[in-house]
């Protein structure tokens, strides 16, 4: 990257610096990043001399897109504000949506992205009137299970303009009900914009359940098949890096496990006959920005480059939009702690600053009170204000990829790239991602990461302010936010009433259609499951009922009542 | 307690209550401490009692990300009583607001190890209390 004169000067300066260290009497000032990469106290042109500007770094908005997807980024439009929200009944969630809108939540071109999270029953395809739902209805997300619930939450909102993000685990049934609702309002599915998680395949390593791996991949692929053919603008898949991070992955493993997941999904789509240039544009990554400030920025830059390279070389894509790493930052949650909770506001602001300097395209910041409960309206709006202050007060949006060219940042970015390639190769050598997962390779890495993190805190090797250092008697009492206890009763009543009012024979016939479509999927016939789910939704089947129909054919597992003995 | 003198600990979480990082950490620490650990998911609180009976445990640790304990705990406590297992120590963990602690202890919960707790205190409590 430098001419010989510069390198000669750098070598001379390095010698002088080495001599200057004498005054510290041989102490070792090296350290390690949170992923364990050894770090020196200073970097110079000598550390980046083998990095080639043209091929390794390049320009913003051009392949390999390491520096930014776009020629002009935040200067044209800042990242999308995408705070997660959802609790209680659909109308309670609507209140929060309106409060955030009033507080200035913005997406691209004057629209909004409503990042809606479901309660656990809705997440896993359990209706509120199922005994398994007891205790969980509307608690940590919205209880929304039918087209009528969607109407309570979304009526009056322009579905062709705003992004509706459906955060739940069992993707297809809720998505089908949303489409049925939209079409009942006269909005054709091809006009819809928003995101499904499509975690049917990717969420297994975070929680301890999910679809059996191969069937999960089939369902995820079939959802993509449907979107590519019928809702081309829909963001069909969210590769869940945040959950991987929260369950114990460091920056290197977050990036490489996500890339490996995305490769598995893309391979499956290609095998199903889909055109990578078409389906890649709906693939997104949810990325955790954590405590090691520079490491996570460098991870992000390396990630953009690796993905663009994989998409171009492995899948032969030519469209820039297919090569772009679409990112939704969800700043770290596991690093927010209960002790001295207001400190979390500051921690998250640092994470958010890191994400902004990384050039993320959307952002959600957890609220400071989340170790205590789900956010209050006040704490939720504070997370939005944190983003707004970054955009409007700090000046970080003036220049794209402002840290480029830093000897340290370029060196570490390159190093992150090399480390991720090593993990990707390990996974490839183990027979690919599906096999590596089934054999527990990834789960082992995550468990080790969790245990190590805790041990480092307990031994004082890792300092957490207010926990293992500067701890105080707690004086600030933060009261937990609680949805109205009536929510569960109302939700159960509503769904019973909904089921009582419909044409039962018609619903059952449509649910049988879902079972038949799954059987076709098992035989390798793509593209029938989502249309059948939409038909079922239009015949007034609930989310829980559609999920149950899927589970008659597609294997659900591992068994949730599994017992492990240590 | 097991015949070999090792405390037996049942750690449970409802299968849809997905944030399990803390409970898994506790499982591996219990194992390190030499306890016998059963780690399980359940779909109805009654299953927790059934597992406690079958496995003849000394301690039940239940983890919650939401206030589902309001609905589940009374059923577990009643079930233990019906099975003459009142001596089993029940503890809770997860995201449990401070203002609920007194109510939960009044219902028979021995300790609450929520966010920010010290895992070693849990281990020490078991060593101290089991087989007393």
Give contacts of A208 with chain B, Cβ < 8 Å: 15, 18, 20, 41
CA–CA distance, A489 with A88 (Å, rounded to integer): 11
Which has the closest alpha carbon to A163: A88, A105, A243? A105
Whole-angstrom CA distances from A80 to A38, A117, A279, A286, A564 are 35, 17, 22, 13, 42
Mutating which of A131, A135, A456, A491 best tests the B interface, going by the most B Cβ atoms within 10 A? Answer: A135
Q: Give the phi and the psi of residue A317 in degrees, each rounded to 5.
A: -70, 150
Say if the Cβ atoms of A136 and B21 lie within 8 Å: no
Q: What is the pLDDT of residues A8-54, one digit of tens each?
A: 999 999 999 999 999 998 899 999 999 999 999 999 999 999 999 99
Burial of A398 (0-12, 13-18, 19+ CB in 10 A): exposed
The answer on pLDDT for A411 being more than 70 is yes
B74 — contact with chain A (CB < 8 Å)? no
B120 — contact with chain A (CB < 8 Å)? yes
- Residue extents of the structural domains in chain B: 8-127
- Residue extents of the structural domains in chain A: 51-75+209-451
CA–CA distance, A339 with A465 (Å, rounded to integer): 9
CA–CA distance, A200 with A169 (Å, rounded to integer): 7
Residues whose CB falls within 8 Å of the CB of residue B115, separated by 6 or more in sequence, listed in order:
A337, A338, A371, A372, B22, B94, B95
Say if the Cβ atoms of B39 and A566 lie within 8 Å: yes
The answer on pLDDT for A534 being more than 80 is yes
Q: Tell me, letter by letter, the H, E, C secondary structure of chain B.
A: CCCCCCCEEEEEEECCCCCCHHHHHHHHHHHHCCCEEEEEEECCHHHHHHHHHHHCCCEEEEEECCCCHHHHHHHHHHHHHHCCCCCCEEEEEECCCHHHHHHHHHCCCCEEEECCCCHHHHHHHHHHHCCC
Structure confidence at residue A206 (pLDDT): 53
The answer on pLDDT for A405 being more than 80 is yes
User: Cα Rg for chain B, rounded, in angstroms?
Assistant: 13
Q: How many CB atoms lie within 10 A of CB A91?
A: 12
Paired strand residues for A481: A374
What 8-state DSSP symbol labels residue A469?
B
CA–CA distance, A73 with A358 (Å, rounded to integer): 12
Choosing among 3.30.479.30, 3.50.50.60, 3.40.50.280, 3.40.50.300, the CATH entry for B8-127 is 3.40.50.280
Give contacts of B69 with chain A, Cβ < 8 Å: 135
The answer on pLDDT for A560 being more than 50 is no
The answer on pLDDT for B87 being more than 60 is yes
CB A540 within 8 A of CB A509: no
Burial of B116 (0-12, 13-18, 19+ CB in 10 A): middle
Residue B74 banded pLDDT, cuts 50, 70, 90: very high
For domain A51-75+209-451, give the CATH superfamily. Answer: Methylmalonyl-CoA mutase (3.20.20.240)
* Per-residue tokens: A232: 């081309």
Structure confidence at residue A203 (pLDDT): 60
The answer on pLDDT for A564 being more than 80 is no
Q: What is the pLDDT of residues A482-496, one digit of tens each?
A: 888 899 999 999 999
Q: Express as a percent the part of chain B with pLDDT over 70.
A: 98
Q: What is the pLDDT of residues A256-280, one digit of tens each?
A: 999 999 999 999 999 999 999 999 9
B80 half-sphere exposure, CB direction, 13 A CA radius: 24
More confident residue, B116 or A87: A87
Residue B75 banded pLDDT, cuts 50, 70, 90: very high
B24 — contact with chain A (CB < 8 Å)? yes
Whole-angstrom CA distances from A379 to A87, A345, A372 are 14, 9, 12
A109 — contact with chain B (CB < 8 Å)? no
The answer on pLDDT for A198 being more than 80 is yes
Residues whose CB falls within 8 Å of the CB of residue B80, separated by 6 or more in sequence, listed in order:
B49, B52, B86, B88, B90
B32 — contact with chain A (CB < 8 Å)? no
Q: What is the pLDDT of residues A74-92, one digit of tens each?
A: 999 999 999 999 999 999 9
CA–CA distance, A62 with A39 (Å, rounded to integer): 30
The answer on pLDDT for A209 being more than 90 is no
Classify A466 as helix, strand or coil: coil
Nearest to B44 among A132, A248, A564 (CB): A132
Which value does ipTM take for this structure?
A: 0.94
* CA dihedral for A244, A248, A251, A253, sign (positive or negative): negative
CB A80 within 8 A of CB A107: yes
The answer on pLDDT for A207 being more than 80 is no
């Amino acid at each position: 990257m430098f001419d010989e004169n510069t390198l000669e000067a750098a070598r001379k300066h390095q010698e002088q610096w080495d001599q200057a260290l004498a005054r510290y009497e041989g102490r070792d000032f090296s350290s390690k990043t949170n992923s364990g990469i050894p770090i020196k106290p200073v970097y110079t042109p000598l550390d980046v001399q083998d990095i080639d500007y043209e091929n390794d770094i390049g320009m913003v908005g051009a392949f390999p897109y390491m520096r930014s997807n776009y020629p002009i980024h935040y200067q044209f439009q800042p990242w999308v504000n995408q705070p997660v929200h959802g609790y209680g009944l659909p109308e309670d969630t609507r209140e929060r949506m309106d409060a955030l809108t009033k507080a200035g939540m913005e997406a691209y071109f004057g629209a909004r992205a409503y990042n809606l999270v479901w309660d656990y029953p809705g997440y896993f395809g359990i209706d509120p009137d199922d005994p398994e739902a007891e205790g969980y209805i509307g608690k940590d997300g919205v209880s929304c299970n039918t087209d009528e619930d969607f109407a309570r939450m979304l009526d009056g909102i322009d579905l062709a303009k705003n992004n509706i993000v459906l955060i739940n685990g069992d993707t297809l049934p809720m998505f089908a009900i949303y489409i049925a609702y939209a079409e009942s309002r006269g909005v054709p599915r091809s006009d819809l914009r928003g995101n499904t998680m499509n975690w049917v395949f990717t969420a297994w390593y975070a929680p301890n359940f999910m679809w059996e791996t191969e069937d999960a991949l089939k369902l995820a692929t079939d959802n993509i098949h449907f979107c590519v053919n019928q809702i081309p603008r829909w963001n069909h898949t969210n590769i869940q890096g945040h959950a991987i991070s929260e369950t114990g992955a460091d920056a290197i493993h977050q990036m490489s496990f996500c890339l490996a997941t995305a490769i598995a999904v893309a391979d499956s789509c290609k095998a199903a006959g889909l055109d990578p240039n078409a389906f890649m544009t709906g693939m997104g990554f949810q990325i955790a920005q954590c405590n090691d400030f520079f490491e996570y920025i460098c991870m992000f830059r390396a990630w953009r480059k690796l993905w663009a390279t994989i998409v171009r070389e492995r899948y032969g894509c030519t469209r820039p939009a297919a090569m772009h790493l679409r990112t939704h930052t969800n700043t770290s949650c596991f690093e927010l702690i209960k002790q001295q909770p207001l400190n979390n506001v500051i921690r998250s602001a640092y994470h958010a600053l890191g994400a902004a300097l990384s050039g993320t395209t959307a952002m959600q910041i957890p609220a400071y009170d989340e170790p205590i409960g789900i956010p209050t309206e006040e704490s939720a709006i504070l997370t939005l204000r944190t983003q707004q202050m970054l955009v409007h007060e700090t000046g970080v949006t003036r220049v794209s990829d402002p840290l480029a060219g830093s000897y340290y940042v370029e060196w570490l970015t390159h190093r992150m790239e090399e480390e991720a390639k090593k993990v990707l190769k390990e996974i490839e050598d183990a027979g690919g991602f599906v096999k590596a997962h089934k054999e527990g390779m990834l789960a082992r890495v995550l468990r080790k990461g969790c245990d190590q993190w805790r041990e480092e805190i307990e031994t004082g090797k890792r300092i957490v302010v207010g926990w293992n250092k500067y701890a105080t008697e707690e004086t600030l009492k933060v009261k937990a936010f609680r949805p109205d206890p009536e929510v569960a009763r109302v939700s159960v009543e509503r769904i019973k009433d909904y089921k009582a009012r419909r044409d039962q024979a018609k619903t059952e016939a449509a649910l049988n259609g879902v079972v038949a479509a799954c059987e076709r999927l098992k035989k390798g016939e793509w593209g029938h499951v989502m249309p059948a789910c939409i038909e079922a939704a239009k015949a007034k089947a609930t989310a829980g009922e559609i999920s149950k129909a899927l589970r008659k054919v597609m294997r659900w597992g591992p068994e949730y009542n599994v017992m492990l003995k240590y | 307690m097991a015949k070999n003198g090792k405390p037996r600990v049942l750690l449970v979480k409802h299968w849809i209550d997905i944030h399990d990082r803390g409970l898994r950490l506790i499982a591996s620490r219990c194992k390190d401490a030499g306890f016998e650990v059963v780690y399980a998911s359940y779909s109805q609180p009654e299953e927790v009692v059934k597992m406690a009976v079958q496995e003849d445990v000394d301690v039940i640790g239940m983890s919650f990300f939401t206030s589902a304990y309001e609905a589940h705990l009374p059923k577990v406590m009643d079930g233990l009583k019906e099975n003459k297992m009142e001596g089993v120590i029940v503890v809770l963990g997860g995201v449990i607001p401070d203002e609920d602690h007194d109510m939960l202890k009044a219902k028979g919960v021995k300790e609450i190890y929520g966010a920010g707790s010290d895992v070693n205190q849990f281990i020490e409590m078991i060593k101290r209390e089991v087989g007393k």
